[in-house]
């Protein structure tokens, strides 16, 4: 069914005022952003834009973190710019604004006369620039700079960085393409595709959309560009360290792909761009490919926490139903990218199943990537730990902290979607939306205590009565949801997962939605060998885990009886205030010192106390598990 083009609201159109999210957004603003800036300064990533000093230092830039100049440093700075710019929308801060101006001036000063912009290759290896897109990160860095420029422009109205990236995009579009004298190349690490589409939406300049389409269409064509490129620089294409172009989703044209393979972050960045282009162009082939790939991921390879990529060796995918828990890679960046893709798929199709996964990723794998204080981070997000997997203050590859920071700072773009004919509520986050709908100025205010409670309330202000559809997502787990308008009960008959209220709306109208929140057991498909005989616990969108510090038995010894009642209780003093799930359990006990015996171990009564996975590892080192043994009784 054809729908009017649906877009996320601008950053300036949404104000978040939510009991769950606001403290996390404040930690992001007040702690994470300055921590990131300080670390980027400490390791030399900011000073790298002083090209002469950078080149003189060669590869000896500070060893305090065992960091040397990196090909992707520009991207880390760009993501910080994007996060800081988004923060200015809701929290004007002259000091942060001036800090941004300083960094952007450094970037502009480092841009080359032809428009090229990459500190590493300009200062350290100028003879090797644009010679190895397979392995290096020039186009990836360019993408993040473009995204940063778009957000900075939208947040401040300044074009200082936008002018830089438009020059860079024009330079790159002269290098890459199918015309005479151009290289038929594309990035090994996808990112610039979705960035160019954001640039198109921000500027209306069709050449940016065309360039994005070129990169997407060219990917995986024969002969493979990465082999041609390797030969041109004197390398043997067969010596490719990853062994397969599946690693960067370049093994076949994107419209022919049906299985999510390779590096997880690269994959979801590509798919987000494909969905964006499908929406902008009405490209049915791209849309069909996105839907196939989505079904493959969610049916075969998505962790219950919304993470993806079980393998550290390729930071990505292995085979269907391979979902190890203690060695799960589930990179924070991959969950962030999944949220990008899911939001675009929800807008493209109007189907709430995509927003369901977006919510799962946001409330679980994304949030687990940062401590409650906002100053420590996770790259990998395992679903089981012996207590030694801890958040770190910094990393030799610090891509995840600024990626997570920019997503949190722009959370308002994920709560709603708006078209000329409807308003869609994808997330239940206390907030206020200001938008033009059906030719009228609308202010929609959302209130509630989600995800701890399921009562959500909306009120409207309109300049005059208006007829449009309000679409409220009914999560797949929300059995028995109820809905009323001005106290009058409404039938909840979801269309593609949304309760749709189409009527003439007036100022003062009130909508009340109740989503039943009860502890739930969640089971994996029997083909997942690592989760056979196990159960996980959930409450609303939150996946739960158990930490050893809360239990009276070792985690591996605990079993949750299948018929045992589970209860939920809000604890305002625990981990910033969380709902815990509690229930009766049994624990194996030892009656002999023998390592092996002929009789099963006896059990004793025990209790299980589970906390949201998002807040694990915020206390002392302790074992953690998402999946628990389940006993018959």
How does pLDDT run across 614-626, given as a tens digit for each residue?
999 999 999 999 9
pLDDT at position 71 is: 84
Task: Encode pLDDT of 466-476 as tens digits.
Answer: 999 999 999 99
227 as an active site residue: the answer is no
Q: What is the mean pLDDT of residues 274-280?
A: 97
pLDDT at position 62 is: 40
| Distance from C-alpha of 66 to C-alpha of 475, rounded to nearest angstrom | 45
Confidence of residue 69 (pLDDT cuts 50, 70, 90): low
Tokens 């060796």, residue located:
313
State the catalytic residue, choosing from 399, 400, 413, 547: 399
Percent over 90 (pLDDT), the chain: 92
pLDDT at position 68 is: 52
pLDDT at position 119 is: 93
Whether the predicted pLDDT of 124 surpasses 90: no
| Distance from C-alpha of 408 to C-alpha of 393, rounded to nearest angstrom | 19
pLDDT at position 441 is: 96
Confidence of residue 490 (pLDDT cuts 50, 70, 90): very high
pLDDT at position 189 is: 97
State the catalytic residue, choosing from 147, 166, 190, 315: 315
Q: What is the mean pLDDT of residues 298-303?
A: 98
Strands (E), 225-336: none
Task: Encode pLDDT of 578-613 as tens digits.
Answer: 999 999 999 999 988 999 999 999 999 999 999 999
Q: Are 199 and 205 in contact, with CB atoms under 8 Å apart?
A: yes
Tokens 């980027």, residue located:
40
399 as an active site residue: the answer is yes
**Alpha carbon 542 to chain centroid, angstroms:** 16
Q: What is the mean pLDDT of residues 251-266?
A: 98
Q: Do the bridges between strand 422-425 and strand 466-473 make them parallel or antiparallel, or are there none, so unpaired? A: parallel
Q: What is the mean pLDDT of residues 339-364?
A: 98
Binning the chain into helix, strand and coil, the percentages to the nearest 5 are: 40, 20, 40
pLDDT at position 613 is: 98
Lowest mean pLDDT among 66-80, 139-153, 169-183, 358-372: 66-80
Confidence of residue 63 (pLDDT cuts 50, 70, 90): very low
| Distance from C-alpha of 466 to C-alpha of 356, rounded to nearest angstrom | 29
Q: What is the mean pLDDT of residues 254-283?
A: 97
pLDDT at position 66 is: 39
Q: Do the bridges between strand 440-448 and strand 422-425 make them parallel or antiparallel, or are there none, so unpaired? A: unpaired
- Cβ–Cβ contacts within 10 Å for residue 238, how many? 8
Confidence of residue 57 (pLDDT cuts 50, 70, 90): low
pLDDT at position 592 is: 87
Tokens 């010894």, residue located:
557
Confidence of residue 396 (pLDDT cuts 50, 70, 90): confident
Whether the predicted pLDDT of 1 surpasses 50: no
Q: What is the mean pLDDT of residues 495-502?
A: 97
Whether the predicted pLDDT of 633 surpasses 70: no
Lowest mean pLDDT among 70-74, 442-446, 575-579: 70-74
pLDDT at position 60 is: 45
Q: What is the mean pLDDT of residues 335-353?
A: 97
Confidence of residue 58 (pLDDT cuts 50, 70, 90): low
Helix count and strand count (H, E) for the chain: 17, 21
Confidence of residue 632 (pLDDT cuts 50, 70, 90): confident
pLDDT at position 417 is: 97
Q: What is the mean pLDDT of residues 36-65?
A: 75
| Distance from C-alpha of 464 to C-alpha of 73, rounded to nearest angstrom | 51
Whether the predicted pLDDT of 527 surpasses 50: yes
CATH numbers and ranges of domains, the chain: 11-417 (1.50.10), 420-514 (2.60.40.1180), 520-631 (no CATH)
N-to-C CA span, the chain:
48
Confidence of residue 444 (pLDDT cuts 50, 70, 90): very high
pLDDT at position 4 is: 62
Closest CA to 410 of 393, 429, 392, 391: 429
pLDDT at position 447 is: 98
Confidence of residue 128 (pLDDT cuts 50, 70, 90): very high
| Distance from C-alpha of 578 to C-alpha of 621, rounded to nearest angstrom | 19
pLDDT at position 300 is: 98
Tokens 């921000």, residue located:
202
pTM above threshold 0.75: yes
Whether the predicted pLDDT of 161 surpasses 80: yes
């Amino acid at each position: 069914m054809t729908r009017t083009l649906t877009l996320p609201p601008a950053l300036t159109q949404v104000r978040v005022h939510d009991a769950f999210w606001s403290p996390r957004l404040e930690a992001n603003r007040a702690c994470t952003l300055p921590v990131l800036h300080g670390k980027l300064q400490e390791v030399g990533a900011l000073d790298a834009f002083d090209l002469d000093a950078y080149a003189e230092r060669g590869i000896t830039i500070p060893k305090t973190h065992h960091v040397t100049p990196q090909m992707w440093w520009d991207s880390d700075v760009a993501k910080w710019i994007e996060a800081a710019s988004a923060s200015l929308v809701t929290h004007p801060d002259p000091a942060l604004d001036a800090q941004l101006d300083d960094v952007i001036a450094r970037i502009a000063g480092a841009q080359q006369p032809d428009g090229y912009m990459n500190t590493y290759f300009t200062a350290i290896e100028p003879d090797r620039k644009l010679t190895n897109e397979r392995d290096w990160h020039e186009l990836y860095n360019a993408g993040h700079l473009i995204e940063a420029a778009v957000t900075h422009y939208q947040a401040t109205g300044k074009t200082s960085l936008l002018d830089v990236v438009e020059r860079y995009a024009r330079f790159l579009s002269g290098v890459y393409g199918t015309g005479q004298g151009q290289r038929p190349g594309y990035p090994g690490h996808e990112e610039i595709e979705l960035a160019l589409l954001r640039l198109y939406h921000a500027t209306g300049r069709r050449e940016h959309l065309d360039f994005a389409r070129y990169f997407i269409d060219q990917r995986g064509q024969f002969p493979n560009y990465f082999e041609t490129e390797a030969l041109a620089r004197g390398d043997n294409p067969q010596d490719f360290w990853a062994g397969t172009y599946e690693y960067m989703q370049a093994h076949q044209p994107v419209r022919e792909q049906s299985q999510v393979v390779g590096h997880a972050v690269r994959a979801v960045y590509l798919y987000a761009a494909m969905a964006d282009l499908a929406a902008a162009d009405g490209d049915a082939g791209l849309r069909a490919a996105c839907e196939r790939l989505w079904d493959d991921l969610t049916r075969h390879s998505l962790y219950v926490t919304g993470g993806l990529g079980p393998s550290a060796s390729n930071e990505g995918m292995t085979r269907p139903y391979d979902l190890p828990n203690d060695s799960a890679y589930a990179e924070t960046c991959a969950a962030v990218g999944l949220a990008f893709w899911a939001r675009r798929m929800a807008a493209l199709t109007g189907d709430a199943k995509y927003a369901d996964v977006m919510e799962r990723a946001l409330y679980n794998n994304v949030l687990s990537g940062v401590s409650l204080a906002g100053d420590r981070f996770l790259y990998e997000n395992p679903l089981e730990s012996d207590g030694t997997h801890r958040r770190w203050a910094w990393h030799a590859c610090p891509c995840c902290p600024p990626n997570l920071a920019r997503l949190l700072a722009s959370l308002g773009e994920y709560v709603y979607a708006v078209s000329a004919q409807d308003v869609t509520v994808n997330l239940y986050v206390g907030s206020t939306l200001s938008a033009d709908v059906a030719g009228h100025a609308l202010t929609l205010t959302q209130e509630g205590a989600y995800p701890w409670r399921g009562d959500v309330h909306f009120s409207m202000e309109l300049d005059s009565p208006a007829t449009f559809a309000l679409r409220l997502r009914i999560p797949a787990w929300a059995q028995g949801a109820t809905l009323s308008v001005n106290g009058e009960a409404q039938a909840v008959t979801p269309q593609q997962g949304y309760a749709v209220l189409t009527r003439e709306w007036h100022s003062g109208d009130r909508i009340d939605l109740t989503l039943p929140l009860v502890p739930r057991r969640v089971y994996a498909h029997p083909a997942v060998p690592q989760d056979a005989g196990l159960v996980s616990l959930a409450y609303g969108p939150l996946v739960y885990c158990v930490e050893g510090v809360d239990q009276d038995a070792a985690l591996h010894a605990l079993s949750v009886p299948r018929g045992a009642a589970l209860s939920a209780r809000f604890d305002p003093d625990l981990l910033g205030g969380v709902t815990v799930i509690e229930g009766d359990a049994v624990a194996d006990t030892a009656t002999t010192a023998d390592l092996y015996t002929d009789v099963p171990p006896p059990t004793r009564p025990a209790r299980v106390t589970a906390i949201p996975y998002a807040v694990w590892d915020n206390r002392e080192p302790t074992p953690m598990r998402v999946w628990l043994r389940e006993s018959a009784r």
